Structure 1
Amino acid sequence: MYVRVSNSGGRKYLRLVESYRDENGRVRQRHIAQLGRLDELDEGQINGLIQSLRRFSGTEVPEAHEGISPQFERALEVGPTWLLTELWETLGLGPMLRQALRSGRRRFDGEAAVRLMVFNRLCDPESKLGLLRWLEQVVVPGIDGSRISHPHLLRTMDALMAKREAIHKALSRRLLPLLDREVSVVFYDLTTIRIQGGGKVADDLRRYGLSKELKGPARHVLGLVQTADGLPLDFELFEGNVAEVKTLLPMLERCLQQYPIERVIVVADRGLLSLDNVADLEQLTLADGRRLDYILAVPAGRYRDFAECIDGVAFAGESESVREDRLDGRRVVVAHDPERAQIQRERRRRKLDELVALGDRLAQKLDAQDAGQTERGRRASDRGAYSRFARAVHEAHFSRYIHTELDSDRFTFRVNEPALARSERLDGKRVLLTNAWDFQAEDIVARYKALADIERGFRVLKQDIEIAPVYHYKPDRIRAHALICFLALLMHRVMRRRLRQCHAPFSVERALEKLRAIQLHQVQIGYRTFRGLTQMTAEQLDLFKTMEVSQPKIDAL
Structure 2
Amino acid sequence: MAYLVWKHSGKNRYLVMRWKKRINGVPTIVKEISIGSVENLAKIVEGDLKDIVLKSYNFGVTAAVIIMDRKISLRNIVNSVLNHHDTGMSPGDYVLLFIMNRLSDPKSKSGIERWMSSDYASTIYPKRGSQDFWNMMDGFTDTDMRNIMNQIRDKLISLGYDFSRIFVDASNMYTFMDENDMAKKGHNKKQRYDLNQISYYIAANYDYIPLYGEAYPGNVHDSKTFESIIKNIPDNSTVIFDRGYNSKSNIELLHDRKYIGALIQSDHKDLIKLNIEKDSFIETSKNVYGKDHRIIVYHSSVLEKKRVITFMKRFKKVYVKAKRIIETGDSDAMEKARLYLEQEKLNETIELPSMAINSERMDERFNMFGKNAIFTNISDMKGEEIIDLYRKRNRVEHCFRTINTMDIAFPLYHWTTQKISVHMFFSHIAYLFLALIYNEVREFQKDVSPIRTTEYLKDIKLNYAARGKRVVEKIECKSQVSETINKVMKLESIVRD
TM-score bucket of the superposed structures, by smaller chain: 0.7 to 0.9
Task: Report deviation, 1:157.
Answer: 2.2
1:231 to 205, 209, 223: 209
How is 1:171-250 mapped onto 2 (pairs within 5 angstroms)? 171-179=152-160, 183-198=163-178, 204-216=181-193, 217-250=195-228
Cα 1:530–1:307 change in 2 (3 A) is same
CA offsets 1:294-337 (integer angstroms, 9 cap, x no match): 5332345x1xx43322333x4345x4434445366554321111
One-letter amino acid matched to 1:516 = K
Q: Does 1:326 align with 2:266?
A: no
Task: Report deviation, 1:249.
Answer: 1.5
Question: What is the DSSP-based 3-state SS (H/G/I as helix, E as strand, rest coil) of the residue aligned with 2:207?
Answer: coil
CA offsets 1:30-50 (integer angstroms, 9 cap, x no match): xxxxxxxxxxxxxxxxxxxxx
Q: Are the equivalent residues in 2 in contact too, given 1:196–1:470 (CA < 8 A)?
A: no
How is 1:13-52 mapped onto 2 (pairs within 5 angstroms)? none
Q: Does 1:338 align with 2:310?
A: no
Q: Are the equivalent residues in 2 in contact too, given 1:82–1:141 (CA < 8 A)?
A: no
Q: Are the equivalent residues in 1 in contact too, given 2:459–2:482 (CA < 8 A)?
A: no
Q: Are the equivalent residues in 1 in contact too, given 2:64–2:437 (CA < 8 A)?
A: no
Q: Does 1:315 align with 2:276?
A: yes
Partner of 1:514: 456
Task: Report deviation, 1:496.
Answer: 2.5
1:477 to 419, 437, 444: 419
Partner of 1:273: 245
Work out the CA distance in 1 between the residues paired with 2:404 and 2:317: 35
One-letter amino acid matched to 1:134 = W
How is 1:105-124 mapped onto 2 (pairs within 5 angstroms)? 105=86, 107-124=88-105
CA offsets 1:63-104 (integer angstroms, 9 cap, x no match): 999997356545321122122222221333244345445634
Task: Report deviation, 1:438.
Answer: 5.1
One-letter amino acid matched to 2:388 = A
CA offsets 1:506-554 (integer angstroms, 9 cap, x no match): 22322322332332334565x5664433543533221234xx4214269
Work out the CA distance in 2 between the residues paired with 1:351 and 1:399: 14
Cα 1:222–1:348 change in 2 (3 A) is closer
Q: Are the equivalent residues in 2 in contact too, given 1:195–1:471 (CA < 8 A)?
A: no
Aligned-pair RMSD on alpha carbons? 4.2
Q: Are the equivalent residues in 2 in contact too, given 1:282–1:292 (CA < 8 A)?
A: no
Question: What is the DSSP-based 3-state SS (H/G/I as helix, E as strand, rest coil) of the residue aligned with 1:215?
Answer: coil
Work out the CA distance in 2 between the residues paired with 1:83 and 1:74: 20
Partner of 1:372: none
Q: Are the equivalent residues in 1 in contact too, given 2:262–2:374 (CA < 8 A)?
A: yes
Work out the CA distance in 1 between the residues paired with 2:233 and 2:113: 35
Work out the CA distance in 2 between the residues paired with 1:118 and 1:347: 37
CA offsets 1:276-300 (integer angstroms, 9 cap, x no match): xx22324436xxxx35655332345
CA offsets 1:128-162 (integer angstroms, 9 cap, x no match): 1111111112112861343x333332233233437
How is 1:498-509 mapped onto 2 (pairs within 5 angstroms)? 498-509=440-451
Q: Are the equivalent residues in 2 in contact too, given 1:129–1:150 (CA < 8 A)?
A: yes
Work out the CA distance in 2 between the residues paired with 1:351 and 1:471: 34
Q: Does 1:138 align with 2:119?
A: yes
Cα 1:456–1:417 change in 2 (3 A) is same
Work out the CA distance in 1 between the residues paired with 2:484 and 2:414: 40
Question: What is the DSSP-based 3-state SS (H/G/I as helix, E as strand, rest coil) of the residue aligned with 1:137?
Answer: coil
Q: Does 1:448 align with 2:425?
A: no
Question: What is the DSSP-based 3-state SS (H/G/I as helix, E as strand, rest coil) of the residue aligned with 2:118?
Answer: coil
Q: Does 1:75 align with 2:56?
A: yes
Task: Report deviation, 1:225.
Answer: 2.1
One-letter amino acid matched to 1:552 = E
Work out the CA distance in 1 between the residues paired with 2:170 and 2:392: 16
Task: Report deviation, 1:453.
Answer: 0.9
Q: Are the equivalent residues in 2 in contact too, given 1:190–1:223 (CA < 8 A)?
A: yes
Cα 1:538–1:469 change in 2 (3 A) is closer
Task: Report deviation, 1:402.
Answer: 5.8
Work out the CA distance in 1 between the residues paired with 2:273 and 2:49: 87
Question: What is the DSSP-based 3-state SS (H/G/I as helix, E as strand, rest coil) of the residue aligned with 2:295?
Answer: strand
1:152 to 124, 132, 154: 132
Task: Report deviation, 1:415.
Answer: 4.9
Work out the CA distance in 2 between the residues paired with 1:65 and 1:500: 43
Task: Report deviation, 1:193.
Answer: 3.8
2:369 to 410, 422, 427: 427
Q: Does 1:532 align with 2:473?
A: yes
Cα 1:551–1:469 change in 2 (3 A) is closer
Work out the CA distance in 2 between the residues paired with 1:354 and 1:549: 50
One-letter amino acid matched to 1:478 = I
Work out the CA distance in 1 between the residues paired with 2:318 and 2:47: 80
Task: Report deviation, 1:163.
Answer: 4.1
Q: Are the equivalent residues in 2 in contact too, given 1:101–1:111 (CA < 8 A)?
A: no
Work out the CA distance in 1 between the residues paired with 2:351 and 2:178: 45
Q: Does 1:103 align with 2:76?
A: no
One-letter amino acid matched to 2:66 = T
Cα 1:447–1:126 change in 2 (3 A) is same
Cα 1:402–1:132 change in 2 (3 A) is same
Work out the CA distance in 2 between the residues paired with 1:347 and 1:65: 63
Q: Are the equivalent residues in 2 in contact too, given 1:533–1:554 (CA < 8 A)?
A: no
Partner of 2:35: none
Task: Report deviation, 1:116.
Answer: 0.6
One-letter amino acid matched to 2:253 = L
Work out the CA distance in 2 between the residues paired with 1:141 and 1:135: 5
One-letter amino acid matched to 2:164 = S
Task: Report deviation, 1:355.
Answer: 11
One-letter amino acid matched to 2:236 = E
One-letter amino acid matched to 2:303 = R
Cα 1:71–1:295 change in 2 (3 A) is same
Cα 1:349–1:273 change in 2 (3 A) is closer
Question: What is the DSSP-based 3-state SS (H/G/I as helix, E as strand, rest coil) of the residue aligned with 2:233?
Answer: helix
* Aligned residue pairs, count: 439
Partner of 1:552: 492
Cα 1:293–1:518 change in 2 (3 A) is closer
Q: Are the equivalent residues in 2 in contact too, given 1:195–1:472 (CA < 8 A)?
A: no
Cα 1:100–1:310 change in 2 (3 A) is closer
Work out the CA distance in 1 between the residues paired with 2:184 and 2:311: 39
Give the TM-score taking structure 1 as reference length.
Answer: 0.66
Work out the CA distance in 2 between the residues paired with 1:250 and 1:461: 22
Task: Report deviation, 1:383.
Answer: 5.2
Work out the CA distance in 1 between the residues paired with 2:133 and 2:179: 23
Stretches of structure 2 that go unaligned for 5 or more consecutive residues are 1-43
Cα 1:130–1:207 change in 2 (3 A) is same
Q: Are the equivalent residues in 1 in contact too, given 2:74–2:92 (CA < 8 A)?
A: no
How is 1:155-170 mapped onto 2 (pairs within 5 angstroms)? 155-161=135-141, 163-164=144-145, 166-170=147-151
Q: Are the equivalent residues in 1 in contact too, given 2:199–2:215 (CA < 8 A)?
A: yes
Cα 1:533–1:141 change in 2 (3 A) is farther
